[in-house]
């Protein structure tokens, strides 16, 4: 099982056919919207009026791009008497515009503007008409509609931004094709590769290249490289190869030229043409400047490392790091990887020295990990006073509450080893009460003599008995919040749209409410409204993402915490009843990390559903549990996926004698890797975490156990305080050990940094 938090978009090349592009590119969105339709029908009952039934039918056809049937459904509704009449006109007009029937769409636009002048949908239909006009090459009409919609359209981010980008680029062609238009189309294609409008930009760029316009305009080699790179992301690999080859053949050597050449070599390698990649680099290296030769050497050293030639790879990396004619970023990455190889070889002194030289690295991720590894190296070399001082410095600059807790935990251990027990106890006492510490809070509890997993094994406190009513209770709070007349109408429309399964436009309605009124009525921080609406609509993943940068008071549980760490009884079931002996809040914590509650999530490795089960693992668990062998589509069903995931995790917990840390690690990385790391750590759980050679698994554990503490803090505060008693109010807390702030992808802590440069899965 692996967590995959990026967009799970599968891009299939449409080969230049516009209709095909739209169908293929948008298909990944449909299951999510279909799920929302299903959830809304379950939540609001089946007793729909004929108009509501027609509205929902029209919307389902619209998202499937069956525009004729969508129009037929919406035309059964009287826009004059229906309470969402502007949406009836808008969706009908949108269907017409998408079909290319701009005349009738424009007439509906005029009607919408006349009958519902204050509707937020007027500029949205203007946008649709601008895009349709640009596709039809009617640039005067495109400009008129573009000017009236620009800056007034939001929601459904990437698709509309791609359409806006396409229209803007087309308007630069009013005097004929130009280099400026080409630059605009390239920006659109590179930024929104998976969208239909971006493919249209790609097609124009390709046609101009074939017509010789690129050469006529004197476009630089960097333009060729950027286009080829975007083509490879769009799975247009043969065209990408041709563009790269043309650039290498046509342009003289320069810094940009060598950058493009390296990207070309990387594409060849990914396509399996390793011989071609190596030959390309060998030819270019003969007359290339030192910086380029070092980049080539860096790539080859990574290959050596993956092939197990550690000594050769380390020597090359160190040579690159000390080279004068090397880019600063490359020098840091080379030294960083050399340090990790030294770790693998057991040369702790050399690794510590190398990490120490990276404490001032330009890259934040390398600098943060190097700061810890340098301090940790001193600890392992038994230089405890120096290690404690270095951990103290790292704690002050840690990028998240978990990273700060990491430094604090090991600082406490360094104090113990150097005979400063009182200081170590003081640090552990503070850390063991911090819900932002993730696994390090659990390690601190264990080192202080407690059982870090007692809370997970305890009988439920009954605090989550009403989790199935959580959403409805919030709805009641929203409805009864004492809104002004205009805002109350927006809330009503948003709720109606959610009930009809149209969450995207419910967000649009709610975004028009005065933020001050929302803050006063619900205590929701500025920027939290879209997430609230998505949460109420059942789109938990969208809610988490929409609130990832919303700040709140870390000293108390607020509404934003419940949105960031939502309960999902529809998926997990009764929050009081353990599943195969596993606490439902632990299952929530894993699901949040694995799929962010997207039940149709599919990872590149083939893991499926809420708990990201590999089909072969699911089949083996089903056999042991005497369940029917699941088909792949069965794993998309929440109840089946969670039942199998819980059973698998339960077997792991039992197999490790109740050790949840190893069980969760094995859930992510497999039992053989866990056995190797546990042996290296000699049974020390904190050392086990630091010894992991898979950075993904280290961060997976940090996030899952961070999630666990947040779920207990939010939903079972009495139980949480029993096992993790908080520091008395008013008492000073250790600097950097404050409770978390839900302001990033990990919830209460700032987001963990992006994956650092590494070979394979090794590294920081």
- CA distances to 309, 311, 321, 322, 762 from 304, rounded to whole Å, are 5, 9, 17, 19, 14
Tokens of 541: 């993943």
- Is 104 an active-site residue? no
Which residue from 276, 352, 309, 329 is spatially nearest to 759, judged by alpha carbons?
Answer: 309
Residue owning tokens 């550690």: 310
CA 98 to chain centre: 30
CB-CB contact of 25 with 199 (8 Å): yes
Question: What sections of 7-120 are H helices per DSSP?
Answer: 18-26, 29-44, 50-63, 67-74, 85-99, 102-115
CB-CB contact of 162 with 196 (8 Å): yes
First and final CA of the chain: distance in angstroms? 21
**Long-range contacts of 710-714, Cβ-Cβ distance < 8 Å, separation of 24 or more:** 710/435, 710/561, 710/564, 710/565, 710/589, 710/740, 710/747, 710/748, 711/565, 711/585, 711/588, 711/589, 712/435, 712/455, 712/585, 713/435, 713/557, 714/557, 714/561, 714/562, 714/565
Tokens of 667: 């859930």
Residue 412 buriedness (CB in 10 A; 0-12 / 13-18 / 19+): buried
Question: What sections of 172-250 are H helices per DSSP?
Answer: 179-191, 196-210, 213-217, 221-233, 237-250
The DSSP secondary structure of 618-664, one letter per residue, reads HHHHHHHTT-PPPPGGGGGSHHHHHHHHHHHHHHHHHHTTT-HHHHH
Tokens of 434: 């911090």
Q: How many residues does this entry show for the chain?
A: 764
HSE-CB at 97 with a 13 A cutoff on CA atoms is: 26
Compute and round to an integer the Cα radius of gyration of the chain.
28
CB-CB contact of 744 with 750 (8 Å): yes
- Out of 196, 594, 734, 752, which one is annotated catalytic? 594
3-state secondary structure string, 656-700? CCCCHHHHHHHHHHCHHHHHHHHHHHCCCHHHHHHHCCCHHHHHH
Catalytically active residues are 594
């Amino acid at each position: 099982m692996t967590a995959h938090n990026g967009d799970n978009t599968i891009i299939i090349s449409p080969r230049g056919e516009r209709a095909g592009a739209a169908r293929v590119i948008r298909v990944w969105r449909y299951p999510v919207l279909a799920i929302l339709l299903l959830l809304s029908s379950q939540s609001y009952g089946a007793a729909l009026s004929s108009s509501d039934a027609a509205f929902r039918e029209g919307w389902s056809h619209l998202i499937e791009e069956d525009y004729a049937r969508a129009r037929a459904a919406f035309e059964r509704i009287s826009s004059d008497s229906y309470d969402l009449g502007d949406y009836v006109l808008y969706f009908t007009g949108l269907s017409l515009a998408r079909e290319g029937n701009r005349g009738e769409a424009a007439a509906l636009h005029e009607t919408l503007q006349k009958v519902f002048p204050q509707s937020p949908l007027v500029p949205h239909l203007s946008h649709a008409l601008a895009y349709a006009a640009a596709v039809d090459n009617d640039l005067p009409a495109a400009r008129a509609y573009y000017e009236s919609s620009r800056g007034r359209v939001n929601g459904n981010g990437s698709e509309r931004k791609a359409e806006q980008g396409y229209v803007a680029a087309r308007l630069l062609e009013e005097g004929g094709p130009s280099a400026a238009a080409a630059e605009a189309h390239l920006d659109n294609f590179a930024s929104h590769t998976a969208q239909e409008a971006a493919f249209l930009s790609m097609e124009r760029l390709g046609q101009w290249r074939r017509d010789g316009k690129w050469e006529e305009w004197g476009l630089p080699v960097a333009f060729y490289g950027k286009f080829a790179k975007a083509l490879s992301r769009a799975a247009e690999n043969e065209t990408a190869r041709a563009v790269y080859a043309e650039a290498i053949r046509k342009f003289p050597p320069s810094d940009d030229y060598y950058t493009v050449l390296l990207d070309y070599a990387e594409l060849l390698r990914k396509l399996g043409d390793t011989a071609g990649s190596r030959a390309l680099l060998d030819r270019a290296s003969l007359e290339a400047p030192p910086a380029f030769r070092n980049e080539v050497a860096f790539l080859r050293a990574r290959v050596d490392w993956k092939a197990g030639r550690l000594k050769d790879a380390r020597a090359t990396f160190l040579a690159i790091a000390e080279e004068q004619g090397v880019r600063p970023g490359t020098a840091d990455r080379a030294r960083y990887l050399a340090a990790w190889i030294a770790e693998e070889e057991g040369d702790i002194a050399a690794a510590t020295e190398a990490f120490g030289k990276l404490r001032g690295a330009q890259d934040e991720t390398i600098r943060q990990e190097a700061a810890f590894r340098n301090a940790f190296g001193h600890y392992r070399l038994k230089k405890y006073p120096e290690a404690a001082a270095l951990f103290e410095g790292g704690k002050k600059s840690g990028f998240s509450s978990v990273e700060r807790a990491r430094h604090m935990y090991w600082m406490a251990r360094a104090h113990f080893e150097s005979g400063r027990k009182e200081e170590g106890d003081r640090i552990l006492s503070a850390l063991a009460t911090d819900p932002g510490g993730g696994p390090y809070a659990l390690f601190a509890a264990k080192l202080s003599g407690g059982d870090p997993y007692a809370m997970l094994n305890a009988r439920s406190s009954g605090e989550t008995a009403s989790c199935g009513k959580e959403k409805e209770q919030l709805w009641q709070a929203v409805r009864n919040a004492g809104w002004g007349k205009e805002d109350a109408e927006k809330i009503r429309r948003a709720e109606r749209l959610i009930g009809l399964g149209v969450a995207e436009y419910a967000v649009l309605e709610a975004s028009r409410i005065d933020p001050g009124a929302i803050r006063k009525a619900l205590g929701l921080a500025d920027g939290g409204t879209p997430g609230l609406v998505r949460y109420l609509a059942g789109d938990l993943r969208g809610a988490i993402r929409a609130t990832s940068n919303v700040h709140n008071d870390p000293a108390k549980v607020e509404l934003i915490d419940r949105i960031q760490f939502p309960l999902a009884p529809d998926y997990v079931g009764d929050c009081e009843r353990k599943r195969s002996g596993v606490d439902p809040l632990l299952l929530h914590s894993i699901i949040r990390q694995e799929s962010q509650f997207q039940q149709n999530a599919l990872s590149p490795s083939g893991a499926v559903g809420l708990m990201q089960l590999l089909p072969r693992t699911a089949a083996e668990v089903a056999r042991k549990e005497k369940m029917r062998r699941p088909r792949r589509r069965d794993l998309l069903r929440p109840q089946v996926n969670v039942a199998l995931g819980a059973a698998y995790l339960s077997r792991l917990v039992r197999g490790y004698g109740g050790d949840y840390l190893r069980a969760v690690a094995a859930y992510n990385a497999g039992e053989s890797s866990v056995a190797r790391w546990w042996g290296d750590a000699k049974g020390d759980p904190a050392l086990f975490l630091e010894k992991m050679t898979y950075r993904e698994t280290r961060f997976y554990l940090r996030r899952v156990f961070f999630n666990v503490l947040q779920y207990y803090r939010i939903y079972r505060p009495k139980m949480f305080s029993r096992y993790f008693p908080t520091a008395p109010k008013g008492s000073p807390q250790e600097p950097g050990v404050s409770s978390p702030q839900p302001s990033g992808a990990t919830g209460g802590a700032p987001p963990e940094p992006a994956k650092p440069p590494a070979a394979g899965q090794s590294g920081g």
